[in-house]
A and B are shown apart, each in its own frame.
Chain A
Amino acid sequence: MTETLIRIPTLETERLRLRAAAPGDFEAYAAFRAEPRTQVLGGPHSRSDAFQMLAALVGQWQLRGYGRWIIADRTDDRPLGVTGIFHPEDWPEAELAWSLFGAAEGKGIAQEAALAARDFAYATLKLPPLISMITAGNTRSEALARRLGARIERDYQHPEFGDMRIWRHPSREDLA
């Protein structure tokens, strides 16, 4: 089947391609979901759970018209992480989310990808100011939220992830 069954746009940045998840991403995604550090994301998860999560990541595009991409290396298409708009039914609002697979950390990749995703969310999807939900103690993500200009708005108690904070991103107008 050459044409994909769910329409997902592709974005490009200097170093990255944000594209639809593909079957070939599963091993990298499952390895990431099995890492102990995914505790802050409700993990670690089995391969079976990881498959469901990857499928759900794609399925949200069909259901909501927006969702998350695989962050891929622009030169060789290698999957490096995930970013985009995460919005499950139990979430308070549409969230700008990001996570990097281990080897890709520390190179500004999450920031480059999240900025592209946020720009798309504002310019094309016309979404209102986004939130990011960050588990207490996830200092790496908090630092990135700050670099992206987001501010802590309030505490949030999640039944599975525990203590979280809701960070509010600048609006489209704020960034203009």
Chain B
Amino acid sequence: MIPTLTTDRLTLRAPRLEDFDAYAAFYADPDATRFIGGPRDTRAAWRSFAADTGHWHLKGFGWWIVAAAGRVLGSIGLHHPPSQPDLELGWLLFPAAQGQGYATEAASAARAWGRAELRPARLVSYIDAGNAASIRLAERLGAVREAARAAHDPDCFVYRHPGAP
């Protein structure tokens, strides 16, 4: 079973088929997804949604759906595809859910789970240099920007999360 995490306001739980429409609608929006590989058509969105889910099976960690009061707000997770040198904490929050501290709350919970379960030597977030909202979130989480950009994606800064396990 994919673990469920709860915070004051949020539930982080396994992705479900019925979450896909909201996820696909988000990825169809070029403005909302310009810094995270969007826009994606239904086909590409399905592949990333299913892959984020299946990552749990292949690696023992992956992405959760962030929900509050039955409403899907976004997705957050830990992933380590072969293209990336380090384990990454990633997040996406649908526009309607932004500006209310949900991302900080969800990211803190996901990071705490990742530290406790995976004990990584390094945990980073790769963030596009133009993605001001995500950079603010990384800084609120105490992550520090490293000098070099991401080797696999020169558009991205590397934010290293603090606190060795």
Contact = CB atoms under 8 A, between A and B. Distances in A.
Interface of A: 1, 4-6, 8, 20-23, 26, 47-48, 51-64, 88-90, 159-160
Interface string B41-63: 11101111111111111111010
Contacts, number: 104
Contact of B20 (A48, A54, A56, A63): A63
Nearest to A64: B17
**Secondary structure type dominating chain A contacts:** helix
B83 A56 contact: no
A47 B83 CA distance: 8
Contact of B55 (A22, A55, A89, A159): A55
Interface of B: 1-2, 14-17, 20, 24, 41-43, 45-60, 62, 81-83
Contacts of A4: 57
A59 B2 contact: no
Contacts of A23: 58-59
29 contacts: A5-B57, A5-B62, A6-B54, A20-B57, A21-B58, A23-B58, A48-B81, A48-B82, A52-B48, A52-B51, A53-B47, A55-B50, A55-B53, A55-B54, A56-B51, A56-B54, A58-B53, A59-B15, A59-B51, A59-B57, A61-B57, A62-B53, A63-B17, A63-B49, A63-B50, A88-B43, A89-B24, A90-B41, A90-B42
Given A22-B58, A26-B58, 5 more contacts: A1-B60, A52-B47, A54-B58, A56-B51, A59-B55
B43 A21 contact: no
Contact of B81 (A1, A22, A52, A59): A52
B58 A62 contact: no
B43 A159 contact: yes
A89 B20 contact: yes
A116 B45 CA distance: 30
A55 B46 CA distance: 12
A63 B58 contact: no
A1 B43 CA distance: 31
